[in-house]
Structure 1
Amino acid sequence: MSAFSHLLLDGVSRRFGGQDALTDLDLTIGTGEFIALLGPSGCGKSTALNCLAGLLPLTRGSIWQDERRIDTLPPERRGFGMVFQSYALFPHLTVRANIAFGLRMRRLPKEEIRRRTAEAVRLVRLEDHVDKLPGQLSGGQQQRVAIARAVVFEPSLVLMDEPLSNLDAKLRLEMRTEIRRLHQSLGLTTVYVTHDQEEALSLADRLVVLREGRVQQIGSPRELHTRPANWHVADFMGYRNLWRGRVQRRDGSRATVESSGQRLHGEAVGDSADGADVVVAVRPEDIRVDGAGGTTNALSATIEVVEYQGRELAAEARTDTGQSLHLRTEQRIAPGDQVKLAIDPRRLLVYPAGGTADIDRRADASAATR
């Protein structure tokens, strides 16, 4: 495996027909890191991966592997492994032949090809399937072949473009574990594209969240889960409750906000002075069904919809002031129940408003169903 200390993306940008698909991506990747590029469809994550792979030329910026500039090199000279969403296996070749294909193209000695192929087959646990064709394999097995083919020539970097999106839920969980196991056991450096925040949180050492071609936040799974940089990141990271409000008082990081007739206390993230329009963000699991009503951020609400999710129930409720909210609880609740809710002020985040049309559309859709 070609060793390097770091990979640098310096102002990487890409335009399509005058439209910015990716703008000024700055990122340093250390050897052995697992990086997830995360965001909704059209955010620029696959564009970034294709620029890194050499499948798309840069409009602006550069890519460096240590002191060597590589964005000017064709894909085959970068030495990266690639795992595609569609697997891209040769249907007429066996599992063994698919995995060995890249080694043969590099004209390695036959004994070296045999040894590396056998090791890759063992790593992805396909020893019993080496003589089968791709059409005789399950989706998960085909994905294992694609991963083995990507790592068999010991690349300096492995690029994965939504490799699990075509699998069912059970297989996705299994393959997540396999990908992380291979990353750790082989000492890979991996860049992984996904729109699934749970997948990214479970796999990556660091996440890069993109929106409309621009980086919104780079950080560890814990940082993005507990402290999104803005409400757009919070929205994507599972903060389903996003409410418009106005700051009544700001005291350091503490903010008191009026939202839909309710006074709420929370943690301010970013600049939002007294009187400023803001967005309040709360995770469903951070709303507590509290029979005593609580003394801080106490809300009275009516349960409207309940979904059984095993140990927990997911519910949609509506406050007495008409605010719709989502919550998760282990308590037994049913539609029509009148409940008292409480939110820990440390779990309620207050962000500067900006680009809130999405929130308004969501509120309009919720009102239309009432």
Structure 2
Amino acid sequence: MSFTRLRLDDVSRSFGGHPALEGLDLTIERGEFIALLGPSGCGKSTALNCLAGLLPLTRGSIWSDDTRLDTLPPERRGFGMVFQSYALFPHLSVRRNIAFGLQMRRLPRAEVRRRTDEAIRLVRLEEHAGKLPGQLSGGQQQRVAIARAVVLEPALVLMDEPLSNLDAKLRLEMRTEIRRLHQSLGLTTVYVTHDQEEALSLADRLVVLRDGRVQQIGSPEELHTRPVNRHVADFMGYRNLLPMRATRRHGSTQMVVEGEGLRLIGSPVGPVAPGTDVIAAVRPEDLRIAEVQGTGLLATVEVVEYQGREVAVEARTESGLLLNLRTTQRPALGDWVELVVAPARLLVFPDDSSTTGRATDRAATDSSATGSPRTDREVPA
């Protein structure tokens, strides 16, 4: 069932009266690669299963152009699915696993063989076509699962965390393989993952979910550089989330924030007014060691992790706040460093958390400050 546009209108699903997915509105253009991204329990797999027809909707509708799909059984939607567990038949060879769906459709034998051969070639398993799944590596089994989905020439391919069972090297290789197949075959793909790096590298657009609700939809660059709230920022790699208070405006577009012995200048996202609680967010790579002494925030290096050209550093301020940074410099344990952040790289979000949530935020920053802060420096660019 080919389409130009797939539309999800107010798609919702509850279990025992508890909403697992609420009000998902999403339009998918033909040929797009969409990643559903979020932590465990956010509703992303529920959304995928609703789209596949494995779960009925509690509310809403799904449309393929002008055809309503949510009233159709899974087999009539024409979608291919790749499961986290691969779900291969252990007693069938690679070739027979891939051909199975075509045979169930009662296609001519010559057509089944042609399409199966082509799928095997696409996933580069020609030398393994006669093997059983148990004789293959995890990456090879995942390729069989992908070939089995695409051989049906589906209008949409659904992938539910297909790389989560692979080691780091295989995950990287298979990411490239999935993107290559998507582009070469002109597939439309919806991909579920909890790995933001995986989503950024694969998708044309990302849909970030939290507690069953969409937080933000946008391109990888949009979500990476301009998350719309603190929850998206947290999930997109802003490891430094600092509970602070907005004190005054700085120019027409920036805000001075204070707390935890710091005074910082950042860029507000959303309604931020002086006198309100805020969360200041900065990525580790945007927190830099100052080149000129006396211009930054003093902190003591507590952890250094070698990561090739860069090192990941944890440093604690004099007030006890733990900060994460990445740097090409090589500080040693116990060194004092001065840290600076450009105002454009420090995002300031309204603190919309409850009292409990705020306590969690503070625990996440691992702050152990007690009493009056010993420093109160404004950290410039």
TM-score (norm 1): 0.97
What's the counterpart of residue 123 of structure 1?
122
What's the counterpart of residue 225 of structure 2?
226
Q: CA deviation at 1:3?
A: 2.8
What's the counterpart of residue 263 of structure 2?
263
Deviations along 1:289-348, whole A, 9 cap, x unmatched?
Answer: 1141474xx211111111111111111111122221101111011111011111011100
Deviations along 1:30-67, whole A, 9 cap, x unmatched?
Answer: 00000000000000000000000000000000000000
Separation in 2, partners of 1:77, 1:10: 20
Separation in 1, partners of 2:107, 2:319: 71
Structure 1 stretch displaced more, 314-323 or 154-163: 314-323
Partners of 1:246 and 1:277 within 8 A in 2: yes
User: Which of residues 328, 334, 337 is equivalent to 1:336?
Assistant: 334
Q: CA deviation at 1:363?
A: 3.3
Partners of 1:89 and 1:146 within 8 A in 2: yes
Deviations along 1:44-102, whole A, 9 cap, x unmatched?
Answer: 00000000000000000000000000000000000000000000000000000000000
SS of the residue 2:271 aligns to: coil
User: Pairwise CA RMSD of aligned residues?
Assistant: 1.5
Separation in 1, partners of 2:367, 2:256: 26
What's the counterpart of residue 10 of structure 1?
9
Q: How does 1:147-226 map to 2 (within 5 A)?
A: 147-226=146-225
Q: What count of residue pairs does the alignment treat as equivalent? A: 367
Partners of 2:11 and 2:22 within 8 A in 1: yes
- C-alpha change, 1:367 and 1:349, in structure 2 (3 Å) is closer
Partners of 2:265 and 2:346 within 8 A in 1: yes
User: Which of residues 319, 324, 327 is equivalent to 1:326?
Assistant: 324
Separation in 2, partners of 1:4, 1:75: 16
SS of the residue 1:166 aligns to: coil
- C-alpha change, 1:323 and 1:369, in structure 2 (3 Å) is closer
Q: CA deviation at 1:355?
A: 2.0
Question: Where does the alignment leave 5 or more consecutive residues of structure 1 unmatched?
Answer: none
TM-score (norm 2): 0.94
Question: Where does the alignment leave 5 or more consecutive residues of structure 2 unmatched?
Answer: 371-381
**Does 1:353 pair with 2:351?**
yes
Separation in 1, partners of 2:7, 2:226: 26
Structure 1 stretch displaced more, 317-326 or 17-26: 317-326
Partners of 2:99 and 2:116 within 8 A in 1: yes
Q: How does 1:1-370 map to 2 (within 5 A)?
A: 2-250=1-249, 251-293=251-293, 295=295, 298-355=296-353, 357-358=356-357, 360-361=359-360, 363-364=362-363, 366-367=366-367
SS of the residue 1:87 aligns to: coil
Q: CA deviation at 1:359?
A: 5.3
Letter matched to residue 214 of structure 1: R
Identity of paired residues, percent? 73
